[in-house]
């Protein structure tokens, strides 16, 4: 039996437009000559996201390497961040130790 609150609460839906000419699953699918423009476009999201986050106050943001500007913005607003990496933790540790020169 459904409760009366769930029956009256409207469902939110996210509509995503998919364009065949933009059908890339990852940046590895994007032609190399276009990558600089992709980075410029991605950096163009900084202002919009800076305005969106305080208005909607999410609990978390999950990001990859591209929005290098997102963690400082989220931290300033008290929003937790999680970095999504395609590399496993042992690979990241190996790189971190070799770059920083520290012993773990």
**What are the b/e assignments for 84-96, b being 16+ CB within 10 Å?**
eeeeeeeeeeeee
pLDDT digit string, tens, across residues 3-15? 555 566 677 776 6
pLDDT digit string, tens, across residues 46-103? 999 999 999 998 999 999 888 999 999 999 999 999 988 888 878 877 877 766 665 5
Distance CA 43, CA 101 (A): 31
Query: Any idea what the Cα angle at residue 98 is, between residues 42 and 103, rounded to 5°?
Result: 125
Sign of CA dihedral 22, 23, 26, 31: negative
What's the pLDDT at 50?
Answer: 95
What's the pLDDT at 23?
Answer: 67
């Amino acid at each position: 039996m459904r409760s009366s609150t769930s029956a009256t609460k409207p469902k939110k839906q996210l509509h995503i437009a998919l364009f065949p000419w933009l059908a890339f699953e990852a940046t590895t699918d994007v032609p190399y000559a276009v990558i600089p423009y992709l980075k410029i476009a991605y950096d163009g999201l900084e202002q919009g996201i800076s305005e969106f986050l305080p208005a909607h106050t999410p609990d978390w943001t999950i990001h990859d390497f591209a929005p290098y500007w997102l963690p400082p913005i989220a931290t300033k607003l008290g929003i937790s961040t999680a970095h999504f990496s395609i590399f496993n933790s042992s690979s990241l540790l190996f790189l971190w130790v070799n770059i920083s020169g520290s012993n773990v």
